[in-house]
């Protein structure tokens, strides 16, 4: 089934690696901006969450059709960014999902298989 988004999230910088996280954040935003300008992705949003005591404090939503996301995640640049993030961020990870109109398609699938 198609997915049209990547959810890349993290908890916080590993203590002592905050400067590395800040620099890498700027580089990752520049990377995604370049990918959007080249048409490799539709675009992206980033969100920092208010302090709330939880273990999710920020995330990116990267949007594109499924084939473009497959291509993005198969590049050495993507792998390098994810590897670097894992070395300076606690709880970092990327997972595929759906957004927009595809949410209703997934809901319909769920409803189809729900017991009566």
| Stated pTM of the model | 0.91
List the domain range (segments joined by +) for residue 58: 5-112
Q: How many domains does the chain have?
A: 1
Q: How many residues does the chain have?
A: 116
CATH of the domain at 87: 3.30.70.100
Q: Position of tokens 């997915």?
A: 3
Question: Which residues, in sequence order, are CB contacts of 5 under 8 Å at separation 6+?
Answer: 61, 62, 63, 69, 96, 97, 98, 99
Q: Are 93 and 85 in contact (CB under 8 A)?
A: no
The first and second tokens of residue 18, run together, are 């905050």
Residue 6: pLDDT band by 50, 70, 90 thresholds?
very high
The first and second tokens of residue 32, run together, are 């995604």
**Per-residue pLDDT reduced to its tens digit, 62-88:** 999 999 999 999 999 999 999 999 999
List helix spans (H) across the chain.
18-37, 66-73, 76-88, 101-112
Give the residues across from 59 on adjacent strands.
Answer: 9, 47
In the predicted model, what is the mean pLDDT of residues 23-28? Answer: 98
Whether the per-residue pLDDT at 50 is higher than 90: the answer is yes
Burial 46-74 (b: 16+ CB within 10 A, else e): eeeeeeeeeeebbbbbbbbeeebbeebee
């Amino acid at each position: 089934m198609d997915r049209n988004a990547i959810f890349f999230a993290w908890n916080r910088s590993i203590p002592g690696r905050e400067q590395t996280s800040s620099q890498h954040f700027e580089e990752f935003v520049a990377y995604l901006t370049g990918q959007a300008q080249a048409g490799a992705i539709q675009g992206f949003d980033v969100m920092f969450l208010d302090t709330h005591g939880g273990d999710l404090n920020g995330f990116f939503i990267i949007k594109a059709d499924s084939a473009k996301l497959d291509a993005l995640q198969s590049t050495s640049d993507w792998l390098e960014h994810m590897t670097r993030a894992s070395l300076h961020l606690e709880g970092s990870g990327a997972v595929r999902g759906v957004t927009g109109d595809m949410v209703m398609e997934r809901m319909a699938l769920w409803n189809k298989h729900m017991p009566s």
